[in-house]
Every structure is written in C-alpha cells, then in structure tokens.
Amino acid sequence: MASYAPAGGALAQARKGVRSDQRAELLLGALACLVLALILGMIVFVFTKAWPSFSANGLAWFGTGGDVDQQLTDIFNSPANPKAYVYELRAWPLLYGTALTTGGAVLVGLVFSVLAAIFIVEFAPERLQRLLEPVVLLLAAVPSVVYGLIGILVVVPLVRDAFISEERKESVQFVVQLDGSSLAVAVLILTVMIVPIMIAIIVDALRAVPRQWTEGAAALGVNRWRVMWTISVRAVRPVIVAAAVLATARALGEAIMLSMVSGSKGFAPNPIDGITFLLEPTRPLAATIVDNREGLSAVPLGQTIYAFAAVLLISSVFLSFAGWYMKRRLRHVAIYGGAG
Amino acid sequence: MPRTRHFGAVVAGAAVAAVAIGPVSAQAKTTITMSGSTSIAPLATKLARGYGKASFRIFQGGSDIGIADVSRGRVSIGNSSRDPQSSDPGGLQFNRVARDGVCIVTSPSNPMSSLSIQQVQAIFTGRVRNWSDIPGAKVSGTIDLVVRTPASGTQDAFQNIFLGQSLRVSSSASQKASNGLVQQTVRSNKNAIGYVSFDFAKGVSAVPYRGVACNLRNAKSGQYGGVRNFWMVTRGAPKGATKSFIDYVRSSRGQRIVASDWVPIR
C-alpha cells in the first residue's frame, strides 16, 4: 500500500511505523513484566500458604521419623479448632522417593538418549532416520496418564510375576508390601517418558555441529564412532545439559503416572535390601499432592500440600540455575551460546 | 474504502454473533452445579439425566471438596459420601439421598465364604499377615492390603464401618488413589484384599461380611452391615431449582434410579 502513496505520505507512514514499534516494545515489555510478576506472585502465594507447615516442624520437616502416611492421615483428621491443628510431618521418604525416581530416570535416560541420538544422526540408514524422528516426536507427546495405564495394566503384573517370590515378600513383610508397583517400574516408565524429548533435542544439536569439524577429523583417519564421541558429542555438551535439565523438570513434576505405578506408599526404599530395594514401593512429592487432592479442604492438610508444592517449586528454580551455571562452564566448547 | 469494508465486517460479525447467541438465551434452563464425592458422581449423572428439568454441571473432587465448594457458594449441591463431621463449615444441610455399600473384595481366585468383624480388623490392621492363618482362604502366602488414600470418602466409610475410631489400617498397606485402581490391583493379584464402593465390586470376589453377602438386595434389606450414606449437601435448606431436584431424587421416581445400582433410602 505504501508504494502507491506519495512521498510525504510514505514519510508519515514511516514515522507512524516507528511509533507503533515503540508501542509494540512497550506492550511486549509489559507482558514480560506480567509473566515475571505472575511467577513471583505464585512463589509468594505458595510460600504464604505453606508457612504453617514449615514453621510448625522447623528443619525436621525435611528429616526422618515415624510413618509419613500416618502423619498425613493425622493432619487430615485434625480437629476443627485452628489452635489444635496437627502439623507434624517428617517428609524425608517423599523427598528421597522424588530424588530416587527423578535421578534414576534422568541418569538412565541420559545414557540412552545420547546413544540413540548418535545412532539416529550418524549410523541409521536414511529411511530409518526418516521414520525414527517423527516417531520420537510422537512419543514425546504421549500424555503421561497413558504411560501410567500401560504401567499398571502390563508392567506391574509382569514385574510381580517375574521378580517377586513369596520368600522375597516375606523377607520384608513387616515393613512393607511388595506387589509389583515399585521404584523400578516408576523409574522405567519415567525413563520412557523423558527419553523422547531428550533424543529430539540432542539430535537437533548433533545435526548443527559444523561439517568441517567432523569431516576434518574423518580426513585424519578417525573412525565414525570416535568422530561422533570426541567431536560431536563434546561440542553439544551444553545442549545435553539443557536436555537433562528439561527432562529433570518433567520428571519432578510428573504426578499421575507415578501415583499409579510407584506403589503410592510414603516409604523410603532401603538400598541394604539388595535387589528387593528396586521392588519396594515409594511415592514422590508430586504424586503425594495428587493422591491427597481429596483432602485439600481440611485446612492443615491443604497447607502441608502447599509445602510440598513449595519444595517442588524451589527445586525447579535451583535446577534452572544449576543448568545455567553448567552451560556457562561448558561454553568454551559450545556451538551454542558462545565460542562456536 | 478499506475503512468501509472493515465496518462492514464488524456489522457482519455482530450479526453472526447475535444469531448465534439468540436461540441459546431463548431456551436457557436453570443450571444446577454439583461437585464432590467421586463415588456419588455416577449416581448424580444418572439422576440428572432422569430429571430433565434443568441442565447440570457435575464435577468430582471428593466429599471434602464438595462440602467446601457448597459452603463457599461455588456449587448448588455438594456431594458427600461421608457423614457430617464437627469440622465441617457451619450452615450446611445434609440431605440423605441414597445409601452405598463398601464391599471387602479379594481376587477371583481366592473367593472367601465369610469374614467376621474380628477377621476384617485383624487383616487390615496387619495383625494377621498370612493367608494360611485365615480359615477358608484358597491361596497361601502374604496378604497384600490394598486401601484408599486417607482423604477419600471410601476410606472414611471403611474406617467408620469396619474399624471404628481406635484401630488403624496397617502402615504397610498399599494406597490407591481411586476405587478403580483398587479393583484393578485386587483383580490382578491373587494375594490381595481391599475394599471398594458398591459399584466397583464387579470382576473381583466380594466377601460376605458376618455371613451376609455383599450385594444390593442384602444392603437394601439392611442385613448387610457395610453400608454408608450418600448426602447432597446444600447451604441452608434447599431452595428453588435445587429444592425441586432434591425432592425429585428423594421421591419414588428418583429412588427407582438410585435402586439401579445403589441402595435406596426407602
């Protein structure tokens, strides 16, 4: 339209354009501030709600002692009088369960996804590559409740029949019940859930490694595997860290699936038990929040659940910082965010 | 010219909007909203379909959520599958609309002929941990307890009906977040025992309690002991559309719908 207008009009148009640019800048700035305010507001809100639980327990909140499920029941059954609210909670089994499931899944998933990404980028035949990449993206989009269903209908009974003998059950029967839903199944399915997104991210990064680098190495007579391992994977280390951070965040927040297959029991699996350790039930924080949603209207339980939410929120903030710091440390070899 | 076209588009848009809104507002029915017990939700859905004189929005969330919602005026009716507690907000009226059984269930490969109250208590508190200590059990080995999470209405019913105030479910029991998950776990594990709402006893073996089978007939006649009440909770006495709906539910027509799967109150 501007091209048909006389010169003066074009100038006016241009000036108007500058002004609308400024307006857009202001608008976007305001939106960004709004997001920031929203996040801050959320953190403040969650902590205000959670405060009674933290202040009643002090640092012992994070400690061990007693049966955490019994403590949650007592909190739920608090009398109506606010002065008599029960808050006693030792949340260690839940924190430990979160760390075990998340850490286990991310570690296993990291190894698996780096190897799978190398295969897809470097070794898979063209046609397989064209098939694998959309399948990986599709898997990344499957809702977690579907994984939960498959877990409880297929994997849990399989694990029970294959690994849980009567002797194994009796060895721990006064402490905990083994029925197949366990730490191992939780880690397994969580790994399956987070691996696709990690593969997708790492594949993109490996593709972006400059060809001269890998070709240069190949020209020196290095084989494909060593080129991949010593050049490409090294170059994308910051991206691998980013993928791990993203996967950890997803694993931390996963609730429904873990509530279904982890055994949903506030129990800290004991590594001394050998293989039984993997078959013991546990329950991470996010799954605890989902499991107790029916009791939110009991005020002290609601505040305790907000305390769980606060811990998850802080963990993810720390996670972001840790990821950012590690990416900075690795910047000298990076193809993204610096020296590349 | 562009300005005129723009104006025309606005007029056209407004016209379309008016046509779209018109018929909706013309035939709008009163809407009754409900939230609360997941156990009551299937019954509430059936009753809503049978009533037809209002439109319904039925949410779940658990008895406590229903009670909290109705006391804050977020819904017209809060569904509760637990009896009134002293900690409930004031000014609520609990209207009994039905009764519901809690069945003790075992795996289909381990049907039990009867359990006494003492046996139920011994099993669920963890005093007896092996099926070989239970006369009449078809399996041997450890007893796997499958229970509901502490905040659920079904757990509340089981606690009140079978355990009383002083006993507690064994701390080693595995907790499930819904009746369906308990049903699924008990069905697939031959050593399991659990409890479910009446509606979920299909596909598993319901254990007769004190010699009385857990079925609808025995619950209706009052012989079966494991029964609890279903309440539709309102803020103050029910009024207007809510009142006519609750009257309908408690009428003989409403109770016929209740009787399809639940226990009528008369």
Q: What is the 3-class SS of B168-200, one letter each residue? A: CCCCCCEEECCHHHHHHHHHHCCCEEEEEEHHH
Mutation pick from B171, B179, B184 vs chain A, by most beta carbons of A within 10 Å, is: B171
Q: Residue A297 and residue A305: Cα distance in Å, rounded? A: 11
Q: What percent of chain B has pLDDT over 90?
A: 36
Q: What pLDDT score was predicted for residue A1? A: 42
For residue B106 the two structure tokens come to 């075992």
For residue A258 the two structure tokens come to 């873990």
For residue A217 the two structure tokens come to 């190495």
Which residues 63-122 in chain B show a CB within 8 A of chain A?
Answer: 63-65, 67-68, 85-88
Query: Does B174 contact chain A (CB < 8 Å)?
Result: yes
Q: Which chain B residues touch A264 with a CB distance below 8 Å? A: 149, 174-177
Q: What pLDDT score was predicted for residue B7? A: 47
Total residue length of chain B: 266
For residue B26 the two structure tokens come to 């013309």
Q: Residue B151 and residue A184: Cα distance in Å, rounded? A: 27
How many alpha carbons lie under 13 Å from residue B77 in its C-beta half-sphere? 33
Write out chain A's pLDDT in tens, 340 residues.
444 445 555 555 656 666 778 888 999 999 999 999 999 999 999 999 999 999 999 999 999 988 898 898 888 877 656 787 889 999 999 999 999 999 999 999 999 999 999 999 988 999 999 999 899 999 988 998 999 999 999 999 999 889 988 888 888 888 888 888 899 999 999 999 999 999 999 999 999 888 888 889 889 998 888 888 888 998 898 899 999 999 999 999 899 999 989 988 889 998 888 889 999 999 999 999 988 886 776 788 889 999 999 999 999 889 989 888 888 887 765 555 443 3
Q: What is the mean pLDDT of residues B210-221?
A: 82
Q: How many C-beta atoms surround the C-beta of residue A42 within 10 A?
A: 12
- Going by C-alpha positions, the residue among A187, A218, A214 that lies closest to residue A109 is A187
Residues 6+ apart with CB under 8 A from B23: none
CA A36 to chain centre: 22
B184, B107 in Cβ contact below 8 A?
A: no
A266, A308 in Cβ contact below 8 A?
A: no
B192-197/B92-106 β-pairing? antiparallel
Q: Residue A93 and residue A67: Cα distance in Å, rounded? A: 9
**Is the ipTM here above 0.85?**
no
Q: What percent of chain B has pLDDT over 70?
A: 88
Q: What pLDDT score was predicted for residue B175? A: 86
Continuous H helices in chain A:
7-57, 68-76, 92-118, 126-140, 144-150, 156-163, 166-171, 183-207, 211-219, 224-227, 233-235, 237-253, 256-261, 276-279, 285-291, 299-329
Beta carbons of B61 and A169 less than 8 Å apart: no
- Cα A187 to Cα A107, A182, B161, distances in angstroms: 10, 9, 37
Beta carbons of B151 and A169 less than 8 Å apart: no
Mutation pick from A145, A149, A166, A177 vs chain B, by most beta carbons of B within 10 Å, is: A177
* C-alpha dihedral sign at B104, B110, B113, B115: negative
Continuous H helices in chain B:
2-26, 41-51, 63-71, 117-125, 153-158, 179-188, 216-220, 240-250, 252-258
